[in-house]
Structure 1
Amino acid sequence: MTTAVDPSGRVLTIPNLLSALRLAGVPVFLWLTLGPNADGVALGILAFAGVSDYLDGKLARALGQTSRLGILLDPLADRLYILATIIALTLRGIVPWWFAALLIGRDVLLAGYVVPIVRRLGYGSALPVHYLGKAATFNLLYAFPLLLLSAGDNWIAVVSRPLGWAFAIWGTALYWWSGILYGVQARRLTRAGRVGGDADPPVLPATDPDCGEAGRADAEVGR
């Protein structure tokens, strides 16, 4: 059994540094893919984003450096990378508009339905992360570099195209599946809140200890 770790108010931690570097790479990635089309360097930034997304949670637990700032930065960086990559791939004509609409639409629906509910019930904008949401993020972070590689006309592009779309399809399906589960959970919390009246908010179920910052607590909605 994994013991829950209360996040601290620390700012200067190794996991937070990794998340900050990941965030700083978002505008650089967009410029590289839409400006000089420097896809090789852009792929390096995406690779760093994927590796650091995995490492920051592991390091936070191993070093005891869980922090409230990290809980916010980690999912924010993931969300911005997904959005930035979708924009770049769509504008480059690598993926169709409907693929972008599917991914962005899921977040729009959650922001309009789930976030207001959990805020009204006193959870801020947080729900415990579901492993499907984490799996969806990993699939998409694998799909995007492969789809970017598929933009060429060499053998690498030929090999990357089916692999990239395989990860993209699985990632999108898991992305929506996790979104539906968040919606169901929000509905249950609403019912529990009505039954409890003015009592304390209902207790949320335990989070997956292997998901995100400090095994938590990577609990931003839609993750």
Structure 2
Amino acid sequence: MSTGQEISSRVLTVPNAISLVRLALVPVFAVLIVAGHDVWALVVLAVSGATDWLDGVLARSLNQVSRLGQTLDPLADRLFIFVTLLGLAWREVVPVWLVAAILARDLMLAFLVPVLARHGYGTLSVSLVGKAGTFALLYAFPLLLLAEMPGWIGAVAHVVGWAFTWWGVGLYWLAGLQYVAQTRRLAAAG
């Protein structure tokens, strides 16, 4: 992600504190979703989504873009996706193949880290496609949880939730393949 701003090595920043709060909410959300406290789980997901947006805005507007923040933010996103998927699969709201499809993509990317390190590169910047895929998945999961409600709200949430799920998985994998191609180019250039 090229913001045109200097990336600092500062640790104590407002956006980093917000990202740490998001990380702390992951186990809270896990307990809530497994225990079936859907309303509170949705509240935690909404807070996480809002703070995900807020930390990025603040990082750019306060000139507090940091290497730690560039690691914490996607880590919190992936953990929320992972925990939400496991919780929804545990409750049989989503099929196991969906968990496997998303985990396989993240495992594929994990194998890129040593290749990049061997050639002197750190982690790759998050792409717009990757952000869109993550956004779609983080939008889909609360809807799939809401789809458990009876009546028209549940029915609409089911359709819209699965639409965002399919878009999210497609974009998530497209971004993953773009990261593989980018890694290959960097390795070939090095």
TM-score > 0.5 by shorter chain: yes
Structure 1 residues 3 and 33: alpha-carbon distance in aligned structure 2, compared to 1, 3 A threshold? closer
Aligned to 1:82: 81
SS of match in other structure, 1:129: coil
Aligned to 2:27: 27
In structure 2, distance between residues paired with 1:190 and 1:11? 30
Q: 1:122 aligns with which of 120, 123, 131?
A: 120
Is the counterpart of residue 182 in structure 1 residue 179 in structure 2? yes
Is the counterpart of residue 57 in structure 1 residue 56 in structure 2? yes
In structure 2, distance between residues paired with 1:73 and 1:181? 21
Is the counterpart of residue 153 in structure 1 residue 150 in structure 2? yes
Aligned to 1:15: 15
- Residue type matched to 1:108 in 2? L
Offset of residue 3 of structure 1: 6.3
Q: Taking CA–CA contacts closer than 8 Å with sequence separation of 6 or more, which of the two structures ends up with the larger relative contact order?
A: 1
In structure 2, distance between residues paired with 1:109 and 1:40? 34
Aligned to 2:168: 171
Runs (5+) with no aligned partner, structure 2? none
Q: Percent identity?
A: 52
SS of match in other structure, 1:11: coil
In structure 2, distance between residues paired with 1:192 and 1:67? 26
Offset of residue 155 of structure 1: 2.2
In structure 2, distance between residues paired with 1:122 and 1:151? 47
Structure 1 residues 121 and 178: alpha-carbon distance in aligned structure 2, compared to 1, 3 A threshold? same
SS of match in other structure, 1:152: coil
Q: Any idea what the Cα deviations from partners look like across 1:10-66, whole Å, max 9, x if unmatched?
A: 22322112111111110000100112x110010011111111111211111101112
In structure 2, distance between residues paired with 1:61 and 1:84? 28
SS of match in other structure, 2:89: helix
Larger relative helix fraction = 2
- Residue type matched to 1:116 in 2? P
Structure 1 residues 170 and 73: alpha-carbon distance in aligned structure 2, compared to 1, 3 A threshold? same
Is the counterpart of residue 102 in structure 1 residue 104 in structure 2? no
- Residue type matched to 1:24 in 2? A
Q: Any idea what the Cα deviations from partners look like across 1:67-105, whole Å, max 9, x if unmatched?
A: 222122111101100100010010000000101110011
Root mean square deviation of aligned Cα: 1.3
In structure 2, distance between residues paired with 1:28 and 1:90? 17
Runs (5+) with no aligned partner, structure 1? 194-223
